[in-house]
Structure 1
Amino acid sequence: MVWRVSLGNEKLKIGELAELTNVTKRTIDYYTNMGLLKAERSASNYRYYDRSSIERIELIEQRKKQGKSLDEIKREIISKYSEEVDILELRLKIKHLDEDVAKVISKLQEFDDVKPEDIKKSLSKESISLIQSLLVLLNNT
């Protein structure tokens, strides 16, 4: 069972993390060496863990109780991380597309006589592809 404490962005030493999560320092070291946990090293070679390590250890211990091997848990964690990265990349692309649309709207408001090539120059290739796809979909409905 993990104790819920307010740590903010505070970094934890391995002993502190072990105490908070009720696992041994040796277990944390093993999980770190396996790649299940990430530690930052200080200039004095101390390992520091961030708050997400508490939740990660809780997840690992829960999956172990369900009978999963550490290799299976590692694959699950890596898969989840990949999905999170994909989602972040998609959000970034959407943000860029939103910025492109805002540029188009701004151009349209500036000029009464807007030339399509002026708009096209201000858009990314992804935005142009998206607009073309939307036009195709709208024409097919």
Structure 2
Amino acid sequence: MTLYKIDEVASECNLTKRTIRYYEEIGLLSPQRSEGNTRLYTREDIERLKKIISARDVLGFSLQELHRYIEVVEMLTGQRERYRSITDLEERRRQLEEIDDTLGKQLDMMESKMRTIQSFKEEAEQLRQQVREGMERLGRQSVERAEAEH
């Protein structure tokens, strides 16, 4: 198994070492330690970090939401692995129901974030409409004033 130092991980993920250490401090990452106490990361750690970055950047998740999202992602990973190892049809069905429930939780998190984003968007659109109406009124007033002066 290849292990990576924090410099390599920071470069690959386009993060600072400080951010990576902070993510470790708050429990989002758990790297291995060498005998010299150097942080060592697996490819799995790097992929997890990339998911964290995507959830943070694309979905706009807070750190608390990131914790919950990563928990759900890990739950799904475990459930999918269990599903693959099950041969009993009834047990497979139960496992699929569990996966469906977990996916529902993940989708609920995303829907909630999207509703918040939609609300901000609607606010900005309303403000933009008011600004455009104000510009239109000013344009009409300018025309009226110019006509009155002639």
TM-score, normalization: structure 1?
Answer: 0.55
CA radius of gyration, larger in: 2
Give the conservation status (yes or no) of the 8 Å contact 2:6–2:17. yes
**Who is 1:43 aligned against?**
35
Shift of 1:45: 1.0
Answering whether residue 106 of structure 2 is matched by residue 84 of structure 1, we say no
Give the % identical residues: 37
Q: For residues 114-125 of structure 1, what are the structure 2 equivalents within 5 Å?
A: none
Q: Among residues 63, 70, 81, which one is paired with 2:63 in the alignment?
A: 70
User: Per-residue displacement from partner, 1:9-47 (whole Å, max 9, x unpaired)?
Assistant: 321111221122111111001111222122011111111
C-alpha separation between the residues in 2 aligned to 1:88 and 1:64? 26
C-alpha separation between the residues in 1 aligned to 2:56 and 2:70? 13
**Who is 1:106 aligned against?**
none
Give the conservation status (yes or no) of the 8 Å contact 2:52–2:70. no
Partner of 2:30: helix, strand, or coil?
A: coil
Structure 2 counterpart of 1:43, one-letter code: E
Moved over 3 A (4+): none
Shift of 1:93: 2.6
**Who is 2:14 aligned against?**
22
Flag structure 2 segments of 5+ consecutive residues without an equivalent. 92-150
Q: Among residues 23, 34, 37, which one is paired with 2:26 in the alignment?
A: 34
Higher helix proportion (structure 1 or 2) = 2
Structure 2 counterpart of 1:14, one-letter code: I
Task: Sort the Cα spacing of 1:59 and 1:90 in 2 relative to 1 into closer, same or farther, 3 A.
Answer: closer
Partner of 2:70: helix, strand, or coil?
A: helix
Flag structure 1 segments of 5+ consecutive residues without an equivalent. 1-8, 99-125, 127-141
Q: How many residues align?
A: 89
Partner of 1:48: helix, strand, or coil?
A: strand
